[in-house]
């Protein structure tokens, strides 16, 4: 419960709204509409803006923007993997207007990037707290017939800089039923990614911590590092693969025949797929395959998937699935633990 409390408290702390700024940005649409607003970010092909006379955040289709101008600092992500920090404006009207970026680190330097090549804008500043974004997902199922209850809480918090980013994912589920033992599963994943000089290549370090009462795992710790690449990175989809080497430590419960702790050198291959549809649905699937090096033939597989259906503003309905498998667990213990839930999601920052 202590770990859950820390994670949830951190999520709520990071989700505090950014300090308000003047709504003096200008965007002009291809049909001639003109808005004076605050551009808060671009993600999944959606430009989010706030206006002084509109309650909440408006969603604007990025491909329909003809011109824009802002004095705010943004993190600008491109399809090639290059990231800039600077002020943005267009240099002229066209079907694909080039975006001029005044790079913050060198005020006299300017670069131009085609609009369709820009996949993400994040409102930022030199301040630490302004660089966070994330989401909180909840789910609850109840059946009176067998007095069964299942809940799921998960959160994602990311901290983004020009050439690197860090992310924390937390997933907790509990299931109880009349006449059956209470089951719990808690998972924390940490990762830090640093872009390399080559387009869309990166190196990263990861840490995963898993507790599962179903598989009698008191704590499974997996640490690793390696090299990865974005196979696709656009306003419609993001796909990357990542591979490397690591170490795994597993402490089993008292019902395991081979009680105690297992230490194993492992390799791993991981990947993530994100797909977007303008202000309607998002799909986020991550998976990792972890073969043991010092115990030939043993393989772990973990996956988490969330499908979002937008309701209004930052509120969505989600359907989530989680699972973990072990091809060779200690005798008498099950090989898998998996489940699903549905509920509400709330995002903050430029998520």
Q: Residue 260: count other Cβ atoms within 10 Å of its Cβ.
A: 9
Structure tokens at 204: 């990263």
Q: What is the dihedral of CA 315, 317, 318, 319, to 10 degrees?
A: 180
**What pLDDT score does 205 carry?**
93
pLDDT, mean of residues 15-44? 77
Burial, 305: exposed, middle or buried (Cβ in 10 Å; 0-12, 13-18, 19+)? Answer: middle
Burial, 154: exposed, middle or buried (Cβ in 10 Å; 0-12, 13-18, 19+)? Answer: buried
Structure tokens at 249: 């430590």
The CATH class of 2-13+130-348 is mainly beta
Residue 181 to residue 95: CA distance in whole angstroms: 61
Token pair 């990025």 is at which residue?
Answer: 62
Among 55-59, 173-177, 198-202, the minimum mean pLDDT is found in 55-59
**What pLDDT score does 211 carry?**
92
Q: Answer yes or no: are the C-beta atoms of 198 and 169 closer than 8 Å.
A: no
Q: Give the total residue count for the chain.
A: 351
Q: Long-range contacts: 56-62, Cβ < 8 Å, 24+? A: 56/313, 57/313, 57/314, 59/278, 59/279, 60/27, 60/29, 61/278, 62/115, 62/235
**What pLDDT score does 207 carry?**
93
Question: Residue 30 in 3-state DSSP?
Answer: coil
Q: Is the pLDDT of residue 100 over 80?
A: no
Q: Is the pLDDT of residue 131 over 80?
A: no
350 against 230, higher pLDDT: 230
pLDDT, mean of residues 32-60? 84
Among 57-71, 72-86, 125-139, 282-296, the minimum mean pLDDT is found in 125-139
Residues 194-228 pLDDT 10s: 888 777 899 999 999 999 988 889 999 999 999 99
Mean pLDDT of the chain: 80
Residues 257-291 pLDDT 10s: 555 678 899 999 999 998 887 667 889 999 999 99
**What pLDDT score does 291 carry?**
94
Longest dimension (CA), the chain: 72
**What pLDDT score does 156 carry?**
84
Q: Is the pLDDT of residue 4 over 60?
A: no
Per domain, the residue ranges of the chain are 2-13+130-348, 22-71+74-123
Partnered with residue 172 across adjacent β-strands are: 153, 186
pTM equals 0.67
- pLDDT tier for residue 7 given thresholds of 50, 70 and 90: very low
**What pLDDT score does 130 carry?**
59
């Amino acid at each position: 419960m202590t770990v859950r409390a820390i994670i949830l408290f951190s999520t709520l702390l990071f989700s505090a709204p950014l300090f308000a700024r003047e709504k003096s940005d200008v965007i002009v649409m291809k049909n001639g509409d003109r808005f004076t607003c605050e551009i808060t970010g671009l993600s999944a092909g959606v430009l989010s803006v706030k206006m002084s006379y509109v309650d909440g955040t408006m969603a604007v289709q990025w491909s329909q923007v003809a011109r824009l101008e802002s004095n705010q600092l943004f993190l600008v992500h491109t399809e090639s993997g290059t990231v800039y920090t600077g002020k943005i404006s267009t240099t002229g009207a066209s079907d694909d207007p080039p975006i001029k970026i005044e790079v913050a680190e060198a005020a006299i330097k300017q670069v131009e990037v085609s609009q369709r090549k820009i996949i993400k804008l994040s409102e930022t500043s030199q301040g630490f707290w302004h660089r966070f974004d994330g989401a909180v997902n909840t789910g609850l199922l109840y059946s009176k017939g067998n007095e069964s209850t299942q809940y799921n809480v998960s959160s994602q918090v990311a901290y983004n800089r020009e050439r690197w980013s860090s992310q924390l994912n937390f997933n907790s589920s509990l299931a109880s039923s009349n006449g059956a033992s209470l089951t719990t599963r808690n998972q924390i994943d940490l990762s830090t990614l640093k872009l390399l000089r080559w387009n869309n290549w990166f190196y990263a370090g990861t840490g995963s911590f898993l507790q599962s009462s179903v598989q009698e795992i008191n704590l499974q710790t997996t640490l690793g590092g390696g090299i990865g690449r974005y196979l696709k990175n656009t306003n419609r989809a993001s796909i990357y693969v990542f591979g490397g080497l690591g170490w795994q430590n597993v402490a089993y419960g008292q019902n395991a025949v081979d009680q105690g702790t297992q230490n194993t050198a492992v390799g791993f291959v991981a990947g993530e797929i994100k797909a977007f549809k303008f202000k309607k649905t998002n799909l986020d699937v991550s998976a990792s395959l972890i073969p043991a090096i010092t115990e030939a033939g043993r393989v772990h597989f973990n996956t988490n998937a969330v499908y979002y259906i937008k309701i209004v503003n930052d509120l969505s309905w989600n359907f989530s699935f989680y699972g973990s498998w072990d091809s060779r667990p200690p005798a008498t213990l099950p090989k898998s633990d998996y489940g699903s839930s549905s509920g509400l999601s709330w995002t903050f920052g430029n998520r």
